[in-house]
């Protein structure tokens, strides 16, 4: 896997025993990020799947970092207690040894997915972005439209928020774009240049948010006037009646996959769930409308109103504006980038 745009892909639980119990064999353990997102997964996919198949899904909430720390511990103990996990594009590279190779021919409903949804290590789940989101009421003459604008505290004054959510390459990419690097030429990341640019903005960063709920509350309360945040969170605020604008220009693609763990005891059941996930466009629409992230169901997209379709990250005009990421570079340099990021934040 090389450079990737959105267009191109059109320790929370006990470890458990090495030998799954009979009860465990009748359930499927699926890992996502928890909260309202997991509740929507449960309502629209987990519970209907159980009703149809009799296979119970046990959801586990874990951040990206927690997921791979636990997976490593499971592998070392030879006790794979999870079946399906959430993965980012770089995880499909960095964690390839922990992930089962997908046999896409076993997904009989794959024709209902967008092109390229099934990859060697993951099935495309959700598509969105990490975008500039701002309070339009604070900028009646127009708000920031580029990362250079986001950095311009004279033209666009006020406190900002940026993510500290396990993916420091997001703000580093924004910093480089603010410094004039084209969105399709960001990799390999020039870390010295990126951190120097972040130094300029740091006095205006009021909060480094860790969760989507936290980022939303910062704008809701007026603690910040703009944020680099998940596009879906921005659209939820807008739906709640806040004067929020979401900018797709130079947004960082935020793509989620379902991935099966190698050595899991329930791979047949895991395939059954992945195949089921591809069906029922109305359920995908309900889920997508709750979070404003598109899913891999191609028929769901046809159910969107023209206005909603134009606002989504998967709209061609929005995809064309997004930054290009390189999952292989991130996978190879992830530990070093995170270590440097943590040192920089702690200064």
pLDDT digits (tens, 9 = 90+) for 161-201: 999 988 999 999 999 999 999 999 999 999 999 999 999 99
pLDDT digits (tens, 9 = 90+) for 12-25: 333 333 344 434 55
pLDDT-based confidence at residue 57 (cuts at 50, 70, 90): very high
Q: Is the pTM of this model over 0.75?
A: yes
Q: CA 28, CA 46: separation in Å to the nearest integer?
A: 10
Domain-located, residue 2? no
Contact yes or no for 73/15 (Cβ under 8 A) = yes
Comparing CA positions, the residue from 172, 188, 130, 167 lying closest to residue 338 is 167
Q: CA 173, CA 192: separation in Å to the nearest integer?
A: 12
Helix (H) or strand (E) holding 260: strand 244-260
> Is 213 in the same domain as 259?
no
The encoded tokens of residue 327 equal 């999952």
pLDDT at res. 26 = 78
CATH number where 50 lies: 3.40.190.10
Contact yes or no for 295/127 (Cβ under 8 A) = yes
Comparing 22 with 33, the larger pLDDT belongs to: 33
Comparing 208 with 4, the larger pLDDT belongs to: 208
pLDDT at res. 36 = 74
What's the total number of domains in the chain? 2
pLDDT greater than 60 at residue 32: yes
Q: CA 219, CA 226: separation in Å to the nearest integer?
A: 7
High-pLDDT (> 70) share of the chain, %: 93
> Is 107 in the same domain as 180?
no
Report helix, strand or coil for 21.
Answer: coil
Q: CA 250, CA 254: separation in Å to the nearest integer?
A: 12
pLDDT at res. 12 = 34
Q: If you average pLDDT over every residue of the chain, what do you get?
A: 91
User: To 10 degrees, the CA torsion angle through 115, 126, 206, 210?
Assistant: -130
> Is 115 in the same domain as 264?
yes
Domain that holds residue 186: 128-253+324-345
> Is 145 in the same domain as 212?
yes
| Cβ-proximal residues to 98 (8 Å cutoff; 6+ apart), any chain | 68, 71, 72, 75, 261, 262
pLDDT digits (tens, 9 = 90+) for 294-319: 999 999 988 988 888 888 888 889 99
> Is 204 in the same domain as 295?
no
Backbone angles phi, psi at 263, to 5 degrees: 85, 5
> Is 163 in the same domain as 294?
no
Contact yes or no for 79/71 (Cβ under 8 A) = no
The encoded tokens of residue 93 equal 């590279």
β-pair type (205-209, 160-163): parallel
């Amino acid at each position: 896997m090389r450079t990737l745009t959105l267009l191109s892909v059109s320790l929370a639980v006990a470890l458990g025993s090495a030998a799954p119990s009979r009860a465990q064999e009748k359930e499927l353990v699926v890992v996502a990020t928890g909260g309202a997102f997991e509740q929507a997964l449960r309502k629209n996919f987990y519970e209907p799947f159980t009703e149809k198949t009799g296979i119970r899904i046990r959801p586990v909430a874990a951040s990206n970092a927690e997921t791979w720390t636990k997976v490593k511990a499971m592998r070392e103990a030879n006790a794979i207690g999870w079946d399906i996990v959430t993965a980012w594009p770089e995880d499909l590279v960095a964690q390839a040894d922990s992930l089962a190779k997908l046999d896409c021919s076993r997904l009989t409903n794959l024709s209902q997915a967008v092109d390229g949804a099934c990859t060697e290590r993951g099935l495309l789940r959700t598509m969105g972005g990490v975008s500039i989101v701002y309070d339009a009421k604070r900028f009646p003459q127009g708000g920031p439209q580029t990362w250079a604008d986001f950095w311009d505290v004279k033209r666009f004054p006020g406190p900002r928020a940026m993510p500290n959510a396990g993916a420091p390459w997001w703000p580093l990419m924004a910093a480089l774009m603010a410094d004039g690097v084209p969105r399709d030429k960001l990799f390999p990341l020039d870390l010295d240049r990126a951190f120097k640019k972040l130094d300029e903005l740091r006095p205006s960063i009021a909060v480094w948010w860790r969760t989507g709920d936290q980022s939303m509350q910062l704008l809701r309360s007026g603690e910040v006037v703009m944020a680099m945040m998940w596009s879906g969170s921005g659209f939820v605020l807008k739906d709640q009646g806040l004067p929020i604008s979401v900018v797709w220009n130079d947004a960082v693609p935020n793509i989620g996959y379902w991935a099966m763990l190698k050595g899991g005891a329930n791979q047949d059941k895991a395939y059954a769930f992945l195949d089921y996930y591809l069906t029922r466009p109305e359920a995908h629409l309900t889920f997508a409308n709750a979070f404003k992230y598109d899913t891999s169901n191609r028929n769901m997209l046809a159910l969107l109103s023209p206005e909603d379709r134009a606002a989504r990250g998967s709209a061609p005009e929005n995809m064309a504006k997004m930054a290009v990421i390189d999952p292989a570079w991130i996978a190879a340099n992830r530990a070093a980038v995170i270590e440097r990021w943590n040192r920089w934040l702690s200064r």
